[in-house]
Structure 1
Amino acid sequence: MVRAGDNNELISKWRGKQVASIGWPELGDPRQYASKESLLAKADLVYREEKPGTRLAWARQVWRYFNEVSLGDRVITYSKETREYMVGTVTQTHQFRPDIIDSNYPHVISVAWEEKRIPRDSLSPGAKNSLGGILTFFRVDNWGVELQALLEEASLEGTLPEPILVQDEMDEVEEYNHEDFIEKAKSMVEDRIDKLDPWQMQDLVAGLLEAMGYQVTVSPKGPDGGVDILAHRDVFGFEQPIIKVQVKHRHVASSGPEIQQLLGANPNGASCIFVSTGGFTAAAKSSARHNGMKLIDLSALVELVQDWYDKMPIEKQALIPLKRIYVPS
């Protein structure tokens, strides 16, 4: 597993260049180090403001990316916008190339990415949990049979084993334990939201606006004129700002024309929010920026749910039942 950047922003670049890349450019080319210990010493120097365990985990991932990835290895990464896993095969091992993708992600391997993707909903609960970890780079060997079967649309028989981590991975997971837990929890909330039908999704977004202090009107089933929710501060809907909301619950990115449709819908002059669990095309993002529209994808929606869940009406909380817990910081 290789994470596609801090904010999953590298997916399209990776597909275009047929590569996968990770960061920590301050460590330079691993070939200059005679041993892993030398690289760890460098990490202690350049990342001295970080916790010792964090420095160790970062350096180990770079060393393993350089030293352990082989030709023919299978690589998987996750697209948050489409909620799908991309799978490919390594065609060239580590290169230190700040010029290929981004100077912040200079550690590059060449990957022949396959066209077919694996929907997250197709995975077993164990695979979902394991693939939802926070580490940038880690092995998922024990899920290879399941992933390959899904690519080939073959049936799975028997119970697949939990992955067995090597000692380096165990140390890294221990250091990131609370962050790893939080990221996995976010993934599980995404899974819950993804299972809602389009009308339940409208109700969820309406519940968030209610939690923020707005009065809301949700369009009934049927043609809505491009507006799913109207939100306003006062009971009668006279007080500014008036917000019109469009909600698209699907795995397809929302487009520029859909942004324009919301802008042109009544009431004219209202502020606009577009919620799309499938993300947005580049044209949609550009149009939204130009017109001051707020875009909310699935990741942003999960953040809002986490922030406002306790203030949502009980019937809206029931759409995605959650329980608050505390973890050590």
Structure 2
Amino acid sequence: MTARVLRAGIAGEPDQWAVNYGFAGGGFHEIGSLEPFETSAVMQSAMEDAFKGEHPGKITNYTGQLNALRHSVKVGDVILNPLKTSRKVTIGVVPKEYTYEDNEPDATKRHQIGVDWQQTNVPRAAFKDEILNTLNGAMSIFRAERDEAENRLRAVFDRGVDPGLYGRRAMSTSAAAAQPSTDDFDDVTEPIATPTIQSIRDRVQTYVIENSSGHKLTHLLAEILRTKGFTCEISPEGPDGGVDILVGSGPLGLGKPKLVVEVKSAQTQISSLVVRGLQSAITTKGASQGLLVARGGLNKQAQNEIRNDRLKIRAWEAEQVLDQLFEAYEFMPGATRRLIPLKRAWVLDEEDNDG
């Protein structure tokens, strides 16, 4: 088993196409089918013709990526696609190697491999720093191999959570991962991660997870809601009957709207049973709305439950909590800001200016 990252464009344009139709790849519309290219030299020559005027280093980089797509991706490989549109990660297994779809009207989607996407909404919060650095690598197609990446990604694939570097080192690697490649083509291994808005968010996210586990996350959420003018009553740690925070307006918290907040700090996805528990708590407490905070995300059934009750319930996953933290941060108490020390810096968002 080999783990590879295959992105769906700079801005994630084909994200939904890839998920809906079971593909990965795309891009590189400047060149036609890769199927005739049986050697690296032939591939390099074709790329030089297709990308005349580009820097030689960039052409070599493109050649390596397309060589990997054409020759190195094999049936059984695990593929990760970090989605730009939702900030989630899809994970699947290759059932079908490279094909070129001449009949596809969109030229940016003709280079394809088949992928059986088995998890399509894994939150980035499920991964620890080293794997997040891998996901933030600058290339579109590469093999993930540093920091026990292949075994750890298999764990995410199987159980939904990255066990971390030291959680995997004591376990044996697969025979396939331990053996060097026998391909005639140089594989494209992961590049050094480059600083981006997403990589900065990921670093903050990891820090927040490490420093606000369990009931600490409930207190952090209460501080965020207080900056919005709400009065919050936090339930004691332990069984809470589906109510972690009772929220109301006014100095006594008796004004409307009244909210019930349920906080789940685990990094695994929650089920529809939790949503139903929140629905029950809204009725029992006489609240008008509910907020479900699910750091590990929601499974499909839970998403459907919330969609069906969207006039009463909202869900914040890890990325939404981070957005709310950034928005509220400067108004939060000093003790909270010391727990999560952030510094604001304005930078030019190069990703949005790539054309």
Question: Among 323, 343, 346, which residue is 1:326 paired with?
Answer: 346
SS at match of 1:321: coil
Q: 2:248: which partner in 1?
A: 232
1:35 to 24, 31, 46: 46
Counterpart of 2:309 in structure 1 is 291
Cα distance in 2 between the residues matched to 1:98 and 1:208: 52
Q: 1:181 aligns with which of 181, 192, 196?
A: 196
Out of 127, 131, 134, the position equivalent to 2:134 is 131
Give the C-alpha shift of residue 209 in structure 1.
1.0
Between the two proteins, the alignment pairs up a number of residues equal to 293
Alpha-carbon deviation of 1:279?
0.8
Q: Does the residue aligned with 1:2 lie in a helix, a strand or coil? A: strand
Whole-Å separation in 1 of the counterparts to 2:242 and 2:103? 43
CA distance in 1, matches of 2:108, 2:99: 14
Residue 316 of structure 1 corresponds to 336
1:109 aligns with 2:127: no
Q: Which residue matches 1:50?
A: none
Structure 2 CA distance for aligned equivalents of residues 97 and 229 of structure 1? 53
User: CA separation in 2, counterparts of 1:259 and 1:149?
Assistant: 33
In structure 2, how many angstroms separate the alpha carbons of the residues matched to 1:243 and 1:99?
53
Aligned to 2:293: 275
Map of 2:216 onto structure 1: 200
Alignment match, 1:222:
238
TM-score, structure 1 length as denominator?
Answer: 0.66
Give 2:148's match in structure 1, choosing from 146, 149, 153: 146
1:83-134, Cα deviation, whole Å (9 max, x unpaired): 999586x66432245999x99866432468999x9x98886x5x34631416
Cα deviations by residue, 1:28-54 (Å, 9 ceiling, x for unpaired)? 95459993356558xx9xxxxxxxxxx
- Looking at structure 2, the residues matched to 129 and 259 of structure 1 have their Cα atoms a distance apart, in angstroms, of 29
Contact 2:125/2:205, CA 8 A, preserved across alignment = no
Q: Is the 8 A contact 1:95 1:109 kept in 2?
A: yes
CA contact (8 A) 1:244 1:273 kept: yes
Q: Cα offset for 1:194?
A: 2.4
Is the CA contact 1:85–1:120 (under 8 Å) kept in the aligned structure 2? Answer: no
Q: Does the CA contact (< 8 Å) of 1:2 and 1:20 recur in 2?
A: no
Does the CA contact (< 8 Å) of 1:22 and 1:136 recur in 2? no
Distance 1:248 1:215 in 2: 21
Is the 1:36–1:63 Cα contact (8 Å) retained in structure 2?
no
- The change in CA–CA distance for 1:270 and 1:9 in structure 2 (over 3 A counts) is farther
Name the Cα RMSD after superposition.
5.0
* Secondary structure of the structure 2 residue equivalent to 1:225: coil
How many Å apart are 1:24 and its aligned residue? 4.3
Contact 2:148–2:169 (8 Å) recurs in 1: no
Which ranges of structure 1 fall in alignment gaps of 5 or more residues? 45-55, 157-164
Q: Provide TM-score, normalisation by structure 2.
A: 0.62
8 Å Cα contact 2:65/2:141 also seen in 1: no
Aligned to 1:301: 321
The aligned runs of 1:160-175 (5 Å cut-off) are none
Deviation by residue 1:111-158 (Cα, 9 ceiling, x = unmatched): 68999x9x98886x5x34631416462435661x723465694449xx
When residues 113 and 289 of structure 1 are mapped into structure 2, their CA distance, relative to the original with a 3 A threshold, is closer
Q: SS at 2:290's partner residue?
A: strand
Structure-2 residue corresponding to 1:260: 276
Change (3 A) 1:141 1:249: closer
- What percent identity do the matched residue pairs reach? 19
| CA deviation after TM superposition for structure 1 residue 252, in Å | 2.4
* Partner AA of 1:146 in structure 2: E
**Partner-residue secondary structure (3-state), 2:196:** helix
Show structure 2 runs of 5+ residues with no match: 36-42, 156-167, 172-186, 350-355
